[in-house]
Structure 1
Amino acid sequence: MDTVSDTNTLGMLIRAERKSQSLTQEQLAGIAGVGVRFVRELEAGKESCQLGRALQVAQTLGLVLSVSTRRER
């Protein structure tokens, strides 16, 4: 399991999974119901990307995100 502590890491994980599924940014945007610009900015780690849409893209790719406390690590 990868630990995501910043937007750059999340973007890199989303990009890697998209590429492993042989999807273009345009294809992913269409499937996820978001704009291509949003996918580009998400993969680039833009900090102001909307969380709900980012979760939508992750879910579309089959990625599961979870939250844990420092005590649980």
Structure 2
Amino acid sequence: MIHMATASDSVALGQLIRAERKRQQLTQEQLADVAGVGIRFVRELESGKASCRVGLALTVLQTLGLIVSITSRGASS
């Protein structure tokens, strides 16, 4: 089953990441280790801190099995 969620800012993205990490029963430390990023980065990402490290954020999303889809605000369904 595919679940779709929308994140329009860094706080919403962090909440989605935290929810998926917890659903997978991973600690922040475990996620950081598996994704190859620092624990501080995971904490800041989940808290919604604006970051220019998009590549690392995408690595964390990929590690959790999440897919990012970009849609134009003007796109019709």
User: CA separation of 1:49/1:14 partners in 2, compared to 1, >3 Å: closer, same or farther?
Assistant: farther
| Structure with larger RCO (C-alpha < 8 A, sep 6+) | 1
- Give structure 2 stretches of 5+ with no counterpart: none
The TM-score with structure 1 as length reference comes to 0.94
Query: Hey, what's the Cα distance between the residues in 1 that align with 2:28 and 2:44?
Result: 11
Question: Pairwise CA RMSD of aligned residues?
Answer: 1.0
Higher helix fraction (1 or 2):
1
The one of 65, 70, 73 aligned to 1:70: 73
- Give structure 1 stretches of 5+ with no counterpart: none
Kindly name which structure, 1 or 2, has the bigger radius of gyration based on alpha carbons.
2
The one of 14, 20, 23 aligned to 2:23: 20
The TM-score with structure 2 as length reference comes to 0.90
The list of structure 1 runs, each at least 4 consecutive aligned residues, that deviate by more than 2 angstroms after superposition, is none
